[in-house]
Amino acid sequence: MSLSANTRLATRLVGVVLVMGALAWAAVPFYNWFCRTTGYGGTTNVAERGSDVILNETVTIRFDANVAKGMEWEFRPVQNEMTLRIGETGLAFYEAYNPTDRVIAGAASYNVSPDLAGYYFDKIECFCFTEQVLQPGERVEMPVSFYVDPALVDDRDAGRIRYITLSYTFYETDLPQVQAQAAPPAATPVN
């Protein structure tokens, strides 16, 4: 091989590596956008206000709560389920309790099932939009305001869905800098 052939080959290989790196870097934001746009994987939508249309057909929302491994909070839905007219705004509450002697920050990931319902499930306000910080022994009720888009009934595949499960999983996050500085020092065991 001549020097120019080696140079062209090396240039192509570097180009392939750069393209693959760029695609790998773009995969996560693209996947997140795709899930938000299509509701794939039970990803819900965010709405600024409730629906203008309320149908006479109902849907039952079941509420599920979990904590990730290592998260020391207790977390549960206040109510197990709620039946609403499609398009009607619902308000549900989840309860979190920090039984430890330290400040803990947490964030909630969420999804709905069946997955097809994610495209039609709209949250107006939710505790999952921001990080939550609980002091030692603190118990809080956290609201989620939502509705099921009336367009659900016109969807050929999702139109018969009348039971939707809204599920949250809380996982521990690093304390925000302000709370970390204000947190009391950990107790030292005395012998």
Domain shared by 75 and 155, yes or no: yes
Whether 158 is in a domain gets the answer yes
For residues 28 and 22, give the distance between their C-alpha atoms in angstroms, rounded to a whole number: 11
Run of H or E including 5:
helix 3-38
**In this structure, which amino acid lies at residue 144?**
V
Whether 189 is in a domain gets the answer no
Run of H or E including 120:
none
Whether 187 is in a domain gets the answer no
Provide the number of structural domains found in the chain: 2
Domain shared by 26 and 107, yes or no: no
Distances from the Cα of 47 to the Cα of 40, 52, 126, angstroms:
17, 12, 11
Residue 15 is part of which domain span?
1-38
pLDDT at 42: 42
For residues 21 and 8, give the distance between their C-alpha atoms in angstroms, rounded to a whole number: 20
The HSE-up count of residue 23 (CA atoms within 13 Å, CB side) is 6
Whether 19 is in a domain gets the answer yes
Is 62 or 182 the better-scoring residue by pLDDT? 62
Whether 29 is in a domain gets the answer yes
Domain shared by 75 and 109, yes or no: yes
Q: Is 7 left (phi over 0), alpha (psi -120 to 50) or beta?
A: alpha
Whether 140 is in a domain gets the answer yes
Domain shared by 67 and 114, yes or no: yes
**In this structure, which amino acid lies at residue 14?**
V
Q: Look at the alpha carbons of 91, 48, 172, 30 in this order and tell me if their dihedral is positive or negative.
A: positive
Domain shared by 133 and 66, yes or no: yes
> What pLDDT digit, counting tens, does each position of 33-47 carry?
444 444 444 456 766
Domain shared by 60 and 24, yes or no: no
Domain shared by 89 and 161, yes or no: yes
Stretch among 14-18, 25-29, 165-169 having the lowest mean pLDDT: 25-29
Whether 102 is in a domain gets the answer yes
User: What tokens appear for 132 in the block?
Assistant: 């939550």
- The whole model's pTM is what? 0.70
Is 16 or 88 the better-scoring residue by pLDDT? 88
pLDDT at 140 exceeding the cut of 90 = yes
Q: Is 137 left (phi over 0), alpha (psi -120 to 50) or beta?
A: left
**In this structure, which amino acid lies at residue 179?**
Q
For residues 154 and 120, give the distance between their C-alpha atoms in angstroms, rounded to a whole number: 11
Whether 188 is in a domain gets the answer no
User: What tokens appear for 185 in the block?
Assistant: 């020092």
